[in-house]
Amino acid sequence: MPEQDDGTITLPEVIVVGDPDQTPTTIADWFAEGFFFGWNHQTGMPEAPAPLDQPFLEAYFNGVAAARSKRDDFDQFQGPAIGPDVGGQPLDEFERGFREALEDLFHEEDKHIEGETTLEIAPGPGVP
């Protein structure tokens, strides 16, 4: 993971700011802690990791719920779907037509010289 000097770690669609080794201090930190727990423990019962004020506790449990929801979506994802055939000509016919249309552009005839003469290299000075 690329890490910048300011402690920001950039993940796909998520930016985590702070030091993961420090105790969470903000509501966003507690949400991230809950998200981490919810993603990694799908069936575990979340418990408040410390006595927290109401906004911090809500953020933690909201993070757990958000992660579990996204993890369910992630686990059920089967990859991109290919939709119904929209018609058109088959690929091999298209490629053949494409090659034929561009053949004149890329076609070069080999130039043959009739009656080629052979060149003889004279020996250099001092060679018998």
- pLDDT digit string, tens, across residues 85-109: 777 888 888 888 888 888 877 766 6
Question: What pLDDT score was predicted for residue 17?
Answer: 63
Is 117 a residue whose pLDDT tops 50? Answer: yes
E-strand spans in the chain?
8-11, 14-17
Both tokens assigned to 72: 């369910």
Q: What does the pLDDT look like over 29-75, one tens digit per residue?
A: 888 888 888 888 888 888 877 788 888 889 989 999 888 888 888 87
The answer to whether residue 28 sits within a structural domain is yes
Overall domain count for the chain: 1
Give the domain range for residue 25: 18-76
Does pLDDT of 3 surpass 50? Answer: no
Q: Which of 39, 38, 3 is nearest to 18 (CA)?
A: 3
The answer to whether position 114 is within a domain reads: no
The pTM of the full predicted model, rounded to 2 decimals, is 0.46
Domain assignment present for 110: no
Per the domain annotation, does 59 fall within a domain? yes
- Domain-embedded: residue 112: no
Q: How confident is the model at residue 1 (pLDDT cuts 50, 70, 90)?
A: very low
* Phi, psi values for residue 122, rounded to 5°: -75, 145
Task: Please state the φ and ψ torsions of residue 56, each to the nearest 5 degrees.
Answer: -70, -40
Compute the 3-state secondary structure of the chain and give helix, strand, coil in percent, each to the nearest 5: 40, 5, 50
Q: What is the pLDDT of residue 123?
A: 73
Residue 71 lies in a domain: yes
Mean pLDDT, residues 20-30: 80
Q: 73-93: buried (b, 16+ CB within 10 Å) or exposed (e) per residue?
A: eeeeeeeeeeeeeeeeeeeee
- Which pLDDT does position 8 carry in this prediction? 63
CA–CA dist 79, 81 (Å, integer): 6
Residue 48 lies in a domain: yes
Residue 56 lies inside a defined structural domain of this protein = yes
Q: Is the pLDDT of residue 2 over 60?
A: no
